[in-house]
């Protein structure tokens, strides 16, 4: 049994790398389908968010993909060279991989520690993998345990208090450095997903009144605009509303920029160099980075929020040890269960294998002693049981002891050969 994760995150690569490796939901589905065809015994869950791209793998007997193989897979899928990708990826295996998954789900590995969105994203990734028939007993157990860890951290620590999401930090800690007030600003929101919804909530709390929502799905744009007393505009009018906006927050899941440099140049004369503040919270980015070089444009990506997020994290440092202890406790429990699962069949076969000769000898002996009463027969049975337990105790205790530190493959193989156990 093996558990492995290979990927990259905001800790080790910048946004211009992450966006090249990011998977949209449609791409994630295609990638999982390809993995299932090429490695039918491999369990796989692909998590792709603004902060990370990670492939979680688990196998009962087969070998999980190596870091080099995952790099080649990512590169081929996105039209990149494998050597461009390999150095950007980290790899964690066994207990380290499980702890990492638990920390990710509990939002201890996020840019904004304690953000609530990551758990939903982990669940969505797991659900998609389930639909693509890429989930098996190991990934099921691991991701169910990860959800449990996230809930424990949320209920047993205060790490989710105060501002804990990318939108909240973007609006309250970052945009306020540019604007003293929002009630007189024309705000444009591009996208209508969960992050867009949360961003509008914080904008309203800060006083924003003039809010326009643009989304490719007009129905979702209208629904979100109605919820927050804004107005929805058709997607083909993006250029028009961009011309009059003061503040733009973009959160789509598009695979390429929705605002290109050419589009911006078309509307630029009508803006008369009026200042435009853009928070591009999407990965891949929604705005061509070159737009940030145009006069009067202040374009910030999700990585530009790092300073504000670090300050946010300092406020939570006191709660981190308790949250990390929960992750460690649950990871230890999960690995113990995993190791027990690996050794369980051997233990059962050992016990069952000795039952038949015990019963045969017991039957033979009792047939030779017909004068024994029920009490005597019970005493003999108990003696046989105690003898079997004492004989089995040393190998089973060795197996249990070794399994605390990992799956004892060598010992399992030795016991299987010694006692002629089945595969």
**86-107 residue pLDDT tens:** 999 999 998 999 999 999 999 9
More reliable by pLDDT, 61 or 167: 167
Domains of the chain in start order, with CATH, are 2-162 (3.30.460.30), 166-306 (3.40.50.720), 342-378+402-423 (no CATH)
* pLDDT mean over 380-394: 81
Determine how β-strand 52-59 pairs with β-strand 297-301. unpaired
**Residue 117: per-residue pLDDT:** 81
Place of tokens 């990670």: 54
**Residue 171: per-residue pLDDT:** 80
* pLDDT mean over 13-26: 91
- Could you tell me the pLDDT band of residue 407, with boundaries at 50, 70 and 90? low
Stretch among 89-93, 161-165, 225-229, 357-361 having the lowest mean pLDDT: 161-165
Q: Is the pLDDT of residue 408 over 70?
A: no
Six token digits for residue 242: 């961009």
**Catalytic (active-site) positions:** 50
Span 293-327, pLDDT tens digits: 999 899 989 888 877 777 767 767 778 888 999 99
Mean pLDDT of the chain: 86
Residues 6+ apart with CB under 8 A from 34: 73, 77
* pLDDT mean over 178-186: 84
Determine how β-strand 2-9 pairs with β-strand 52-59. antiparallel
* pLDDT mean over 73-77: 95
**Residue 288: per-residue pLDDT:** 95
Angle CA 130–15–320, to nearest 5: 70
**Residue 409: per-residue pLDDT:** 62
**Residue 48: per-residue pLDDT:** 95
- For the chain, what percent of residues have pLDDT higher than 90? 46
Span 211-262, pLDDT tens digits: 999 999 999 999 989 988 889 999 999 999 999 999 999 999 888 999 999 9
CB atoms within 10 A of CB 107: 25
Residues 6+ apart with CB under 8 A from 291: 259, 261, 264, 278, 297, 299
Q: Is the pLDDT of residue 166 over 90?
A: no
């Amino acid at each position: 049994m093996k558990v492995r994760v290979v990927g990259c995150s905001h800790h080790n690569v910048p946004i211009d790398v992450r966006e090249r490796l990011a998977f949209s939901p449609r791409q994630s589905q295609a990638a999982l389908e390809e993995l299932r065809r090429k490695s039918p015994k491999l369990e796989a869950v692909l998590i792709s968010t603004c902060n990370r791209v990670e492939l979680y793998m688990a196998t009962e007997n087969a070998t999980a993909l190596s870091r080099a193989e995952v790099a080649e897979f990512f590169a081929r899928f996105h039209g990149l060279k494998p050597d461009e990708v390999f150095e950007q990826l980290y790899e964690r295996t066994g207990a380290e991989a499980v702890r990492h998954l638990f920390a990710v789900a509990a939002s201890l590995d996020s840019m904004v520690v304690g953000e609530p969105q990551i758990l939903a994203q982990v669940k969505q990734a797991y659900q998609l993998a389930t639909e693509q028939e890429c989930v098996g007993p190991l990934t099921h157990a691991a991701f169910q345990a990860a959800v449990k860890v996230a809930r424990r951290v949320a209920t047993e620590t205060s790490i989710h208090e105060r501002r804990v999401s990318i939108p909240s930090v973007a609006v309250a800690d970052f945009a306020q450095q540019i604007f003293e007030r929002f009630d007189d600003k024309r705000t444009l929101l591009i996208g209508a997903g969960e992050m867009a919804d949360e961003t509008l909530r914080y904008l309203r709390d800060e006083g924003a009144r003039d809010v326009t929502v643009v989304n490719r799905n007009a129905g979702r744009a209208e629904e979100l605009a109605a919820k927050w007393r804004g107005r929805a505009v058709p997607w083909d009018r993006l250029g028009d509303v961009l011309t009059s906006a003061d503040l733009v927050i973009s959160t789509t899941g598009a695979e390429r920029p929705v605002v290109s440099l050419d589009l911006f140049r078309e509307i630029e004369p009508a803006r008369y160099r009026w200042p435009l503040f853009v928070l591009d919270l999407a990965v891949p980015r929604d705005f061509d980075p070159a737009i940030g070089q145009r006069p009067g444009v202040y374009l910030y990506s999700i990585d530009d929020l790092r300073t504000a997020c670090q300050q946010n994290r300092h406020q939570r440092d006191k709660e981190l040890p308790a949250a990390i202890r929960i992750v460690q406790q649950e990871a230890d429990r999960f690995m113990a269960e995993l190791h027990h699962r690996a050794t369980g069949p051997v233990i059962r076969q050992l016990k069952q294998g000795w039952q038949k000769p015990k019963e045969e000898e017991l039957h033979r002996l009792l047939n030779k002693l017909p004068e024994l009463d029920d009490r005597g027969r019970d005493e003999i049975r108990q003696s046989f049981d105690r003898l079997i337990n004492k004989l089995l105790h040393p190998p089973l205790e060795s197996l249990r002891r070794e399994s605390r530190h990992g799956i004892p493959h060598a010992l399992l193989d030795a016991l299987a050969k010694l006692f002629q156990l089945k595969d």
